[in-house]
Amino acid sequence: MEDRCTICGASLELGHGAPVMAHEGLTFRFCSLECLKIFKAFPEAYTHEEETELKSVEDTSP
Ligand SMILES: [Zn+2]
């Protein structure tokens, strides 16, 4: 699993001190406080993707 900014996808260096936020049991990393602000404003926009993926997998099975 690569360390990338949840918002803009910029690659993050380990130990860089990038902002981190725990949300619904998951840890999200960000390249800057600006991206962290965006996530705080619209967390669902960035957490829904995985949920939709899981649901679609469940839906395809009978
Ligand atoms: Zn970013």
Q: What pLDDT, in 10s, does the model give residues 4-37?
A: 899 999 998 766 678 999 998 989 999 999 999 9
DSSP string across 17-31: ---EEEETTEEEE-S
C-alpha 9 to ligand 1 mean position (Å) = 6
> Residue range 38-60: average pLDDT?
72
pTM here? 0.67
C-alpha 6 to ligand 1 mean position (Å) = 7
Residue 39's pLDDT is: 95
Q: Is the pLDDT of residue 52 over 80?
A: no
> Residue range 34-56: average pLDDT?
78
Helix (H, G, I), strand (E, B) or coil at 15: coil
Pairing of strands 26-29, 20-23: antiparallel
C-alpha 52 to ligand 1 mean position (Å) = 23
pLDDT band for position 50 (cuts 50, 70, 90)? low
